[in-house]
Chains A and B, each alone.
Chain A
Amino acid sequence: MSVPSREELPSLPRDEEGPVFKEPWEAQAFAMTLRLYDGGHFTWPEWAACLAEEIEAAQQAGDPDLGDTYYQHWLKALEKIVARKGLLSAEELSRRKDAWDRAAHATPHGEPIELGPDD
């Protein structure tokens, strides 16, 4: 991979020692990955390679990749590795996602969202 020159690169993003997860879903995605790894469903090098692929694909699609989209890449990589390892199919995921969307729409604002018996 060629390294862009300094002029082509945005300046370095900085932070104070802020929260490690910006939103709860980031933490959930992180934890699921660790749990599946601990369960022996994939090796850590397999995971790192899968994540690196997603990051590279996102960059090529124009993501400035400033660290704020990191868990988006993580989530995509997780969806991919569970499919690759035969744990969940893309179709199952898509059906279940639609079910959660319907459940959200059927739930009054402020109440916990739960799947119905047919979902």
Chain B
Amino acid sequence: MSDGHDHSHLSDTELRVRALESLLTDKGLVDPAALDAIVDRYENKVGPRNGAKVVARAWVDPEFKKFLLEDGTAAIGSLGYLGSQGADMVVLENTDKVHNVTVCTLCSCYPWPVLGLPPAWYKSFPYRARLVKEPREVLQEFGLELDDDVEVRVWDSTAELRYLVLPARPAGTDNMSEEELADIVTRNSMIGTETVASPAGGA
């Protein structure tokens, strides 16, 4: 029988991960159950939904919005969505005149506690390098056409400081509940590569 068919095979990468995990477990540095819980949390439970709830709250509650823009870390913490990495959160409001968009040019610092894990393009060199240099072109590739009089501001995240974009509330949503509003807020709108569209049938 040829190699690879009668026995199991692990790739070089899988072998390295297993080596790390088993040694760290043997030494009591990690607990496999805790690892599973972290994976489950980030893969299934956080996603961008926490961020969407923050945005929806800000749209319906002017006091909360003021708090959020003044002290993002405390306001997001008040909803229970701060992570363990200890990064400060700054919230950037998109308006008719200013469009904010976020990036991490060095690696991929990202506000996990509110947005889950970053999409592949956020981690890519073209996005990291080009957004700073030609933000309008990059945003166009995401299908976002901004008027010439809109100022584009690019924010570079760090290990200590992460950004969340507060997108503008679209027209035609006056009668929507906070929960319904949270459902229309997309991940990309909180990174700043798109805006939140009016819901179908809305104005």
The interface residues of chain A lying within 8 Å CB-to-CB of B124 are: 12-13, 65-67
The interface residues of chain B lying within 8 Å CB-to-CB of A110 are: 8
Pairwise interchain contact A75-B17, C-beta atoms closer than 8 A: yes
Pairwise interchain contact B125-A64, C-beta atoms closer than 8 A: yes
Nearest opposing residue in chain B for A21, CB measure: B43
Pairwise interchain contact A100-B187, C-beta atoms closer than 8 A: no
Pairwise interchain contact A96-B19, C-beta atoms closer than 8 A: yes
The interface residues of chain B lying within 8 Å CB-to-CB of A88 are: 20, 23-24, 27
- The docked-state distance in angstroms from the alpha carbon of A48 to that of B108 is 9
Pairwise interchain contact A15-B120, C-beta atoms closer than 8 A: yes
Which residues 115-134 of B sit at the A interface, judged by CB distance below 8 A? 116-127, 129-130, 132-134
Pairwise interchain contact A108-B34, C-beta atoms closer than 8 A: no
Pairwise interchain contact A52-B129, C-beta atoms closer than 8 A: no
- The docked-state distance in angstroms from the alpha carbon of A115 to that of B14 is 14
A27 to chain B, nearest CB (A): 4
B39 to chain A, nearest CB (A): 4
Interface status of A4 (Cβ within 8 A of chain B)? yes
Interface residues on A, range: 35 or more
Nearest opposing residue in chain A for B46, CB measure: A20
A15 to chain B, nearest CB (A): 5
B78 to chain A, nearest CB (A): 22
Interface status of B22 (Cβ within 8 A of chain A)? yes
The interface residues of chain A lying within 8 Å CB-to-CB of B29 are: 35-36, 39, 41, 87
Interface status of A57 (Cβ within 8 A of chain B)? no
Which residues 41-74 of A sit at the B interface, judged by CB distance below 8 A? 41, 44-45, 47-49, 51-52, 55, 59, 64-68, 70, 72
B34 to chain A, nearest CB (A): 6
A-B contact pairs, 27 of them (CB 8 A): A3-B129, A3-B133, A9-B126, A12-B142, A13-B127, A14-B141, A18-B119, A19-B43, A25-B14, A27-B43, A28-B21, A32-B21, A37-B85, A44-B87, A66-B124, A66-B125, A67-B119, A67-B122, A72-B13, A75-B16, A82-B20, A87-B27, A88-B27, A96-B18, A96-B22, A104-B8, A111-B8
